[in-house]
A = this chain, B = another copy of it.
Amino acid sequence: MGHESSCLVAKLSHYVTLTDADREKLATFEKTERSFAGGTEIHQGGDENRELYVVKRGWAFSYTDLPDGRRQIVKIHHPGDVIGFPDVALKHTTTTLRTVEDVCLCPFPKSALDLILREAPRLSALLLSIALRDQVVFIDVLRAMGRMSAREKIAYMLLDLIARLRITNPGMTDTFRLPMNQGQIADYLGLTNVYVSKTFIRLEQDGLIRRHDGYVQILAEEQMIALTDFQDRYAQMDTSWFPQA
């Protein structure tokens, strides 16, 4: 993940062949970069007129709170992800953005999208497709939240994370670093930190996973896929209907 080629270009190239003109336009998204320490709040929900970010390094997440403090983490951001895309539709930010660890982000203004839409129909189609694919992913999460047990939810989350990480790290096998703590995992899955702990231990005892120093190893991926009816939405998209280059 990159010196010359950015993680964004790497991620998008997974789906279509980008022309030099496309790469040039995308490069404007990563002109500037800013670093943040772990546990930093980068912007708050309700802020106005925000920028978008491309993640260059590190994990972050977006969350919303209920007035009484209950928290829901809504999206976990990895390198190559675009943060804040959904908020483009609205005048105000809907979620708060917080870093999990030390992070490097590339901010860019909404108006950069305008250029893409006017001049690059093929890239527009790709951006639209990613927005729509993300909707499908949200639908999958919704199903997990509404109808899965705690055990299934955690299995689902682990499968989802590893599927996403494999897109940009093709060498990855069955082990990945999980820098989030159990309170954050609980806020993502609609559980409590205590119950996440207990459920992780059961998953380990049942031989589905193993944990060591912040890493998770998936021992029985097939079994976990069956348990959660997991579908990988990241590996491929339908680009057949795109405008020609």
Question: Least Cβ distance of A233 to chain B in Å?
Answer: 7
Asked if A243 CB lies within 8 Å of chain B CBs, one says yes
What's the dominant secondary structure at chain A's contact region? helix
Q: Which of B91, B138, B241 contacts A138 (CB 8 A)?
A: B138
Is B147 a contact of A190 with CB atoms below 8 Å? yes
Contact with B along A140-164 (1 / 0, CB 8 A): 1111011110000000000000000
For chain A residues 56-114, which have a beta carbon within 8 Å of chain B?
64, 66-67, 70-72, 74-75, 85-91, 94-95, 110-111, 113-114
Residue on B with the closest CB to A186?
B146
Instruction: Tell me, in angstroms, the Cα distance from A38 to B28 when the chains sit together.
Output: 51
What is the total number of copies of this protein in its complex? 2
Q: Is the CB of B134 within 8 A of A135?
A: yes
What is the distance, in angstroms, from A231's C-beta to the closest C-beta of chain B? 8
**28 interchain pairs, CB-CB under 8 A:** A66-B147, A70-B147, A75-B139, A85-B132, A86-B133, A86-B136, A87-B136, A88-B238, A89-B132, A89-B136, A91-B236, A91-B238, A94-B140, A95-B139, A110-B241, A117-B125, A117-B128, A118-B243, A121-B124, A124-B128, A127-B128, A131-B131, A131-B135, A135-B138, A141-B142, A145-B145, A145-B190, A146-B190
